[in-house]
Structure 1
């Protein structure tokens, strides 16, 4: 199945995307009543509208259930770490994003005024379907997978010589996700995904790898997070990005750049970098080149 979060005539809702016709059918059943079911039972539980809408009639939203949380995991591909002169960490590095950081598959990416080093990171994103509880294989609790571009402000925290994840990873409208969720059965996945992923900037290939190369496999990432914050239906988990990012080459995103991230069998994100917005002097604390408050 392909499940999309869409907006039509100002209303946001979940919809089933029919692969053959590329038409949408609205899902009337509550998310939690079908997200944790096996695919064949979930399809029966969706309570679908009979009306079919063309995909072009809808705006694709980030596939996040209202109230869902967004978790990120970094330092999870050795090829990326080697290019930065680092070794594999002893355990995952995780963080949380606010839902206000997310945008849809075709939306503009904001260029925040607090950075001059805006970077790209194509990532597989896991979507939680049911609580992990004592499930021996954590990935069996997933609804499916989607594509993420974990845009990062690489110069965040340089003034204080410390990591500043709030600025680097959480800024408004900087993280495209979508275009929809694809269930594991449709991808023929059991356990660790092995999917090709790639990202281009202005049609120039910058990143290319396979999700089998994760340092910490998906089951381990999910268990690591769930041991600290119990994962809930609708939560998104970004699983880390591979080599080829701007941090390695110094080639960062600029206003007007076209960024395309795609993962085999799921889909692609096509986003444009917006122009930087002005920032009032009273909110310039921590901005590159600005003095910090004493």
Structure 2
């Protein structure tokens, strides 16, 4: 079962039950907090559905993010990716970060090419979506609504002058985190526990990343507990779960304006997007690119 956010059905953007095969949808009228925990089981009884059916072609898909939800990410989670970057052992734990809502890009949208980077990279990721807070009496993944697709576009040269990690510049830039096209409910990926789905990124038709989520170093339960121990997760929150090998950082083939990207995950779908023209940088903000005061 798939649920997503759409614009173009009446007034404000809303959640909808989507039949991807038929190309149709029905609007969901009850609040996210009511239907999300039940929908995770694949039960349509979770929804108070509008009787009208609409064609997907008549609406615009939005990133499937509940207003007010937070977007978290973790890294260091696929060993082959780390091996290609020179690491020989798995890390003792993951690293985490948070993305502002301004980073989110809707399905079929355009990724910004920020002026502050010359090394814009791609990372297809399985993204977990919370239906309710974690419960100590159940596996962390039992609290999920399901999964969607994310592209954790990163500025790889961030922190280069510092000789240190600058996750703010690398991961939080405006309009650099495509998410969608919708959420596949938890039952569609095997229920609670570690999912095992094929993950692929194509750029201009060329396969650049391909792996399976079973190869994560840290399981979804471990990742969710890691974040929740630091920031309590809430219904609607998203967690990017790390990316595999094949990224531009490994071979120097970074994104360019005009590139067309297709991120695909088994049982979810395909997330299409493209890279926009590189933004110009004003003289006042050019100093900020270097991390020094304007006029300094």
Shift of 1:42: 5.2
Q: 1:127 to 1:25 in 2, by over 3 A?
A: same
Aligned residues: 292
Whole-Å separation in 2 of the counterparts to 1:85 and 1:278: 34
Whole-Å separation in 2 of the counterparts to 1:30 and 1:120: 34
Residue in structure 2 matched with residue 24 of structure 1 by the alignment: 25
Q: 1:40 to 1:231 in 2, by over 3 A?
A: closer
Deviations 1:12-61 (A, max 9, x none): 11000024422010111010111122546852231111111110111111
Whole-Å separation in 2 of the counterparts to 1:161 and 1:220: 30
Deviations 1:76-135 (A, max 9, x none): 000000000113211110000011100112001100000010000000000000110313
Whole-Å separation in 2 of the counterparts to 1:235 and 1:181: 13
Matches within 5 A, 1:1-294: 1-8=1-8, 11-37=12-38, 39=40, 43-86=44-87, 87-287=89-289, 290=290, 292-293=292-293
Secondary structure of 1:36's aligned partner: helix
Q: Are the counterparts in 2 of residues 258 and 271 from structure 1 also a CA contact under 8 Å? A: yes
Shift of 1:70: 0.2
Q: Are the counterparts in 2 of residues 35 and 42 from structure 1 also a CA contact under 8 Å? A: no
Q: Are the counterparts in 1 of residues 40 and 144 from structure 2 also a CA contact under 8 Å? A: no
Q: Are the counterparts in 2 of residues 110 and 174 from structure 1 also a CA contact under 8 Å? A: yes
Moved more, 166-175 or 40-49: 40-49
Q: Are the counterparts in 1 of residues 29 and 50 from structure 2 also a CA contact under 8 Å? A: yes
Shift of 1:276: 1.0
Q: Are the counterparts in 2 of residues 34 and 42 from structure 1 also a CA contact under 8 Å? A: no
Whole-Å separation in 2 of the counterparts to 1:291 and 1:184: 43
Q: 1:130 to 1:278 in 2, by over 3 A?
A: same
Secondary structure of 2:3's aligned partner: strand
Structure 1 runs (4+) deviating above 4 angstroms are 38-42
TM-score (norm 1): 0.95
Uncovered stretches (5+) of structure 1, i.e. residues with no partner: none
* CA root-mean-square deviation: 1.5
Q: Are the counterparts in 1 of residues 194 and 219 from structure 2 also a CA contact under 8 Å? A: yes
Moved more, 14-23 or 209-218: 14-23
